[in-house]
Structure 1
Amino acid sequence: MTQPPVADREPFEHREHGVPRPDPYAWMAAGGDALTGHLRAERTYYDSACAHLDSLVSTLRAEMVARLPESDLSARWRRTRYAYYTAARTGSDYADLMRETVGSATESEPDHAPEVVLDVESLATDPDRGTGYLDLGVTVVSPSEDLLAYSFDRDGDEVYELRFRDLRTGADLDEVVPRSYYSGAWSADSAWFLYTVHDEQYRPFQVWRHRVGTPVADDVLVLEEPDERFEVQVRGTRSGDCLVLWSESNTTSECWVVDAHDVTRGPWSVGGRRAGVRYHAEHRRRADGGGDLLVVTDDGAVEGRLMTAPVPDGADQDASVWVEARPESPDETLVRADAFAAGVLLTVRTGGHRELVLVPHDDLRAGSQRVEADLLRSPRYDGPVTVLEESWLRPGVARTWDLGTGVLETVWEQEAPGHDPERYVSERRTFPSADGTLVPATILRHRDTPLDGSAPALLYGYGSYGAVDEPTWDPALPSLLDRGVVWVYAHNRGGGEMGRRWYLDGKLEHKQHTFDDHVAVADGLARDGLVDPDRIATRGLSAGGLLQGAVFSQRPDRWRAVVAEVPFVDVVTTMFDASIPLTVTEWDEWGDPRRKDDFDWLLAYSPYDNPPPAGGRPDLLVTGALHDPRVMVHEPAKWVARLRETDPDWSPRCLFRVETGAGAHTGPSGRFGHLAYEAEVYAWILDRLS
């Protein structure tokens, strides 16, 4: 194809609050053969338009794959009888779940041959469809370590089939749950498994209890959440004495506990439900043999405070029984609390960084040691604690942390053949946004790439849900930096990097701050003479794709190229349609357009409703996936069609890379599949920035 496909136009007009909104591509929301045919034409045009990049894609992919070790082993996590880890065999796209027995309770090193717990590579091969997409949901080993609950999705639609495996024989049990979601937890005696189920709008709304060895038809409903704004989850606690269930909206949550030793008892509420109050609970054992709950909450503390509460037993309780144990700190955000026998680890954010703070059980206001790291799987209450240190350019290093002595000991280092972190430089700078707020940005570059205004730049951003993209080793990124591109992560308001207040200042009626911040970083890089002002590209996914759509429309002059991955761009129409998966749960993040004020701010930035003027638009790469339940594929399809319609001369420079088969919200699965995708995107960006 030498020209992009032209989508059919059918007259249609929305009219809300007296405001007409023409929508000639509304037909795409119905799906069907017409949409599928159009999407296939879009993919054909993308493949044709990018054929000249095949050689560069192959080179980039080879470089990225070369940074993966032939046998990729993860850090181990200790249970009682076994040490577990993942291992990707040479040439394998997926890492298998493995374990090795340990000789005694005091020995940390395994002394027996490895055992395959779950052969993920084989699981990815469907006899009817061959090797394709695969995503694991839960992989939870029972307390006895004789059973495994695992779930998987082969389409990318986040519908997970749940199965149970007898690890003594390696055989799956007969019972299969055809529709489940991400979370799950075992009873203390390994006889029961609690799991979540989502409704037709992909909202996890129920917790069910399954008894191993019995038909799934006999499973018992434990909890159902009727409020469509809330989603439920379930997890076990490290102590092994409780299971925690919680239901959460964007602004409010409620937690319940179930007795892990008798899961037919409960659930009992930890503190009821109060609008605008969020909290999470962790169980800890006490030296006297009892136990209580550690509650992290924003009740009366925007950045969070720590409370203690009794474990409810036989009846719901309200928050009046909570006792403050650690007040809110103005300089840090309290994220979570993890209890161990030797102390409590608090995860906090301070100065834009994540830290672990060790506090003693008898003085939760103290802080004896801080480590800038993340807590890795450390499932034993009285066992070793493992933390992970890594960055975008430094592969991970795992260390055991002796909470008694404070000693950190390296136990694992991630391999990255041929990669030398010392070849690269990372720094943090701030740039003033439109309202004067200083926006932090992390700048990565090769040591030989100067910040003198001569190098091109790729800006990445998200800025929604209070989410934080913690720096993690990316084997693809050096291929970009090695070619002289400066990579910049903009920590925009709406994200959680700078705390809860930073998030609140970038949502609902303040959403424009997210877009202003992103543009401010790009303008600052150019104004301060750090990068080439005529060669700045920008990229983001999902809500980050909305960010790209907004800055594409609001400042088309700023960008040489824009990559909008699975972008949420038909904002007003989607937020009006409660039948679309997850819409109702999103009203507290974006706004409910049934209210006039919300409608006005949504309409003001909705990319589909605000295409930029014709002429002067940057090149645009859009992605989508047919089975994506988070951003329905018709959204990017409609946006691309409208953009091409409103600027026909520019339209060949607008590409839509759509997954018409199996594929997920975040792209292809598997180590090599994901890197192949990154190679495509990077090749297109490099071509535009050349």
Structure 2
Amino acid sequence: MPHDLDNSEVPPAAPAEPRQYELHGRRWTDAYGWMRDHSDPRFLAYLRAEREYCDAAAGRLEGLQTEVFHEVEQRLLPTESSVSWRHGSRFYYTRTVAGSEYEQFLQTGHDGDADRVLLDGALLAGADGFAEIGLREPSPDNTLLAYSVDTTGDEVYRLRFRRLATLTDLSEELPRTYYTGAWSADSRSFFYTVHDELFRPHQVWRHVIGTPAEADVLVLQEDDARFELTVRASRDGRWIMIEARCRDTAEWHLIPAAAPDTAPAVVAPRRKCVDYRVDHADGRLVIVTDDGAPEFRVMTAPVDDSGREHWTELFAPRPGERITACHALRGHWLVELRRDGFPLLRAVDRATGSEVEIGAGIPAGHVRLATPFEYDDRTVTIAVESLIEPPAWYTADLGTGARELRRRREVPGYDPGAYRTARRHATAPDGTLVPVTLAWHADTPLDGTAPALLYGYGAYESVLDPEFDPVLPSLLDRGVIYALTHPRGGGENGRGWWQDGRLAAKANTFTDHLAVADWLAEGVADGTRLGTRGLSAGGLLQGAVYTMRPQRWAAVVAEVPFVDVVTTMLDPDIPLTVNEWDEWGDPRKPEEFAWMRAYSPYDNLPSGPRPPLLATGALHDPRVMVHEPAKWVARLRATATPADGPVYLRTELGAGAHTGPAGRYAHAHYEAEIATFLLHHLRATS
């Protein structure tokens, strides 16, 4: 991987076929556009050559990689059960089993029976040993289980129905389905989504148990390519709720769960840049919306209100808060929100209006709702964790806020007291304070002498809250300071934080991440030993900061990176282009082309010596097509100089998901490989 460990053979070189392009008065050449044809036999041959080259270099660090993997493996309990949750009259939980890559789904015993394994992921894996569960929904009467499985990593799920009394599958199979689903009240019909050839969930169908798939009924089709459909049941089970959503606009449709063949009725017609989410309680809708409140408020309205005329405010927005959800329960409103960059739960008694707040209660930690809960529940299960604290599950009383420990994840050989974590801020070039969550070993000084690894994402209003990762102690034990950055484009500080890091403001994401790196280098960590890592849109972040400031980094890891920004967003015939224009921009428009072209890593190569780079891809990935990292690596290698660090492309050539191998041990091997690359280049191997 580094110069002293690099392969003796010449790195792979992709065939170059220069093609000329012109748009908005700009002309450019793309020598590797041919890779977009995945059927070209040269493309697979190139990916294989790159993987062999990467594996050969990784093999030179096999000792350290094996050491790291064994450390991670020891932190994984061979057999571990989740906390259980109630669904009607039954309870369910998941369990990992010694030696198995995949978890099991179980129903707890009743009437003196033993617990039963309802679903075993290991038995569902395909020929390559890969299995990913899309949905797992017990019916309201707990007699059937709807479940779907992907065996390649392309996110095309086969939906089946299992009779729980006999643990046998019904004869019907639905071969092309997507995430989310909902049962009718009588457990006889199941609503599910189907994606089009571009992997956009654009249809909701209804299947009647015991009938062939050919008899299924199309319930709703979304023709606007910017919108995606999801389907779920309301908290009280009264309604089937279908959501059509693009990045900043939503429209909901309702079907009575007791009358599943009823045509869907719209709650409020879509209006551009007006977002809302819906639940139901006692004949009224509970609506979280940004209509008139940029960081959202909670409204209520009659179910039969076909617009916004009768919406009344239930909870007004409060300064410094972003409301993300409001769950309707019989006795409480349960509000999910963010304040000061951290998540928080607020339970409001529906009868008295009294409030309790439920926070993490640990330094730089976060709290989340951990299991499904039901309309009549007066308690919920929460999980609390941080970068250094393994998750602990509590029963939280919605009336008092009191919590009772249910289970704490056991991590063999790990002592949280040996580590430290804290939330800090760096100052961006425009003066914005950028949050960063740090973790380090108690013996590691924060005096500018230790290496550091940054991890960032910063897109789609997604939030990277601090979570415990069993590979992280292997970095911290070797003196690495870990910095989880929270740049604009994410949702850590609310919707405004996202708005200030998308479209024309996208560059703020990159300069925020660099601001954290510079802050670390000013005296917290060794500025010559900084690494950076991110995945997907976070891979774009890595490509951008690799281009903008190559001298800042000792190593860069860009996983399934979205790096060919302009070319991809110009092609509406590949997955996730049209409904991504609201996040990145539409390059068919001159102004938007200009800002995207200015940061696209494939179109802007680093000047000066380049640090070592490890890029990853997956042959079956529908989210970031594998030709993006392949083209980027090919162009970087073709323009490299002797002063540049090595470049590697690690592609999952068989079954593999957007986030890498799916099995827990397979993924641990993958994480050990990434960690070894970083440890070596950060000079933190002892």
Q: Same fold by TM (over 0.5)?
A: yes
Moved more, 514-523 or 115-124: 115-124
Alpha-carbon distance, 1:579 to partner: 0.7
Query: SS of the residue aligned with 2:407?
Result: strand
From the superposition, tell whether residues 170 and 102 of structure 1 become closer, same or farther in structure 2 (CA, over 3 Å): closer
Alpha-carbon distance, 1:371 to partner: 3.0
Identify the match of residue 590 of structure 2 among 585, 596, 618: 596
Please name the residue that 1:186 is paired with.
183
- Is 1:407 equivalent to 2:402 in the alignment? yes
Please name the residue that 1:370 is paired with.
358
1:123 aligned partner, one-letter code: L
Residues 168-218 of structure 1: CA distance to partner in whole angstroms, max 9, x if unpaired? Answer: 110000100000001101011100000000000000000000000000000
- Is 1:646 equivalent to 2:639 in the alignment? yes
2:370 aligned partner, one-letter code: L
Please name the residue that 1:660 is paired with.
653
CA contact (8 A) 2:609 2:644 kept: no
Identify the match of residue 456 of structure 2 among 451, 454, 461: 461
Alpha-carbon distance, 1:387 to partner: 1.2
Please name the residue that 1:235 is paired with.
232
Residues 609-632 of structure 1: CA distance to partner in whole angstroms, max 9, x if unpaired? Answer: 00012x411110000011010100
Query: SS of the residue aligned with 1:368?
Result: strand
Please name the residue that 1:636 is paired with.
629
Alpha-carbon distance, 1:687 to partner: 0.7
Identify the match of residue 23 of structure 1 among 30, 47, 59: 30
Moved more, 392-401 or 377-386: 377-386
Please name the residue that 1:392 is paired with.
387
CA contact (8 A) 1:9 1:24 kept: yes
CA contact (8 A) 1:85 1:98 kept: yes
Identify the match of residue 63 of structure 1 among 27, 46, 71: 71
In structure 1, the gaps of 5 or more residues are 104-110, 286-290
1:59 aligned partner, one-letter code: E
Please name the residue that 1:308 is paired with.
300
Query: SS of the residue aligned with 1:190?
Result: coil
Alpha-carbon distance, 1:471 to partner: 2.1
CA contact (8 A) 1:74 1:414 kept: no
1:65 aligned partner, one-letter code: E
Instruction: Report the count of equivalent residues.
Output: 668
Query: Following the alignment from structure 2 to structure 1, what is the Cα–Cα distance between the partners of residues 645 and 504?
Result: 35
Alignment of 1:63-462 (within 5 A): 63-102=71-110, 112-124=113-125, 126=126, 129=127, 132-285=129-282, 291-312=283-304, 317-362=306-351, 367-372=355-360, 373-383=367-377, 384-462=379-457
Query: Following the alignment from structure 2 to structure 1, what is the Cα–Cα distance between the partners of residues 467 and 329?
Result: 26
Query: SS of the residue aligned with 1:544?
Result: helix
CA contact (8 A) 1:4 1:652 kept: no
1:620 aligned partner, one-letter code: L
Query: Following the alignment from structure 1 to structure 2, what is the Cα–Cα distance between the partners of residues 442 and 368?
Result: 26
1:77 aligned partner, one-letter code: W
Please name the residue that 2:4 is paired with.
none
- Give the share of equivalent positions with the same residue, in percent: 50
CA contact (8 A) 1:494 1:504 kept: yes
From the superposition, tell whether residues 570 and 177 of structure 1 become closer, same or farther in structure 2 (CA, over 3 Å): same
Please name the residue that 2:581 is paired with.
587
Query: Following the alignment from structure 1 to structure 2, what is the Cα–Cα distance between the partners of residues 133 and 14?
Result: 40
Query: SS of the residue aligned with 1:319?
Result: coil
Please name the residue that 1:107 is paired with.
none
Query: Following the alignment from structure 1 to structure 2, what is the Cα–Cα distance between the partners of residues 211 and 363?
Result: 43
Query: Following the alignment from structure 1 to structure 2, what is the Cα–Cα distance between the partners of residues 595 and 343?
Result: 48
CA contact (8 A) 1:575 1:583 kept: yes
Query: Following the alignment from structure 1 to structure 2, what is the Cα–Cα distance between the partners of residues 355 and 284?
Result: 22
Alpha-carbon distance, 1:652 to partner: 6.7
2:301 aligned partner, one-letter code: A
- Is 1:544 equivalent to 2:538 in the alignment? yes
Query: SS of the residue aligned with 1:628?
Result: coil
Alpha-carbon distance, 1:380 to partner: 2.1
1:208 aligned partner, one-letter code: W
Query: Following the alignment from structure 1 to structure 2, what is the Cα–Cα distance between the partners of residues 482 and 13?
Result: 51
CA contact (8 A) 2:556 2:612 kept: yes
Residues 649-676 of structure 1: CA distance to partner in whole angstroms, max 9, x if unpaired? Answer: 2567001111111111100001111111
2:124 aligned partner, one-letter code: L
Alpha-carbon distance, 1:164 to partner: 0.5
- Is 1:559 equivalent to 2:553 in the alignment? yes
Query: SS of the residue aligned with 1:136?
Result: strand
Residues 331-367 of structure 1: CA distance to partner in whole angstroms, max 9, x if unpaired? Answer: 1000001122220110000001000000122466x63
Query: Following the alignment from structure 1 to structure 2, what is the Cα–Cα distance between the partners of residues 474 and 46?
Result: 25
CA contact (8 A) 2:464 2:486 kept: no
1:338 aligned partner, one-letter code: H
Identify the match of residue 571 of structure 1 among 553, 565, 572: 565
Please name the residue that 1:288 is paired with.
none
2:611 aligned partner, one-letter code: P
- Is 1:687 equivalent to 2:685 in the alignment? no
Q: C-alpha root-mean-square deviation of aligned residues, in Å?
A: 1.3
- Is 1:43 equivalent to 2:51 in the alignment? yes
Alpha-carbon distance, 1:406 to partner: 3.5
Query: SS of the residue aligned with 1:47?
Result: helix
Query: Following the alignment from structure 1 to structure 2, what is the Cα–Cα distance between the partners of residues 511 and 549?
Result: 14
Alpha-carbon distance, 1:416 to partner: 1.2
Please name the residue that 1:11 is paired with.
18
Query: SS of the residue aligned with 1:50?
Result: helix
Query: SS of the residue aligned with 1:478?
Result: helix
Query: SS of the residue aligned with 1:493?
Result: coil
Query: SS of the residue aligned with 2:309?
Result: helix
From the superposition, tell whether residues 123 and 495 of structure 1 become closer, same or farther in structure 2 (CA, over 3 Å): same
Query: Following the alignment from structure 2 to structure 1, what is the Cα–Cα distance between the partners of residues 292 and 15?
Result: 53
Query: SS of the residue aligned with 2:47?
Result: helix
CA contact (8 A) 2:278 2:286 kept: yes
Moved more, 57-66 or 647-656: 647-656
Alpha-carbon distance, 1:368 to partner: 3.1
Moved more, 416-425 or 562-571: 416-425
Alpha-carbon distance, 1:6 to partner: 0.5
Query: Following the alignment from structure 1 to structure 2, what is the Cα–Cα distance between the partners of residues 297 and 473?
Result: 32
Alpha-carbon distance, 1:102 to partner: 4.8
- Is 1:53 equivalent to 2:53 in the alignment? no
Alignment of 1:503-522 (within 5 A): 503-522=498-517
From the superposition, tell whether residues 310 and 18 of structure 1 become closer, same or farther in structure 2 (CA, over 3 Å): same
Please name the residue that 2:363 is paired with.
none
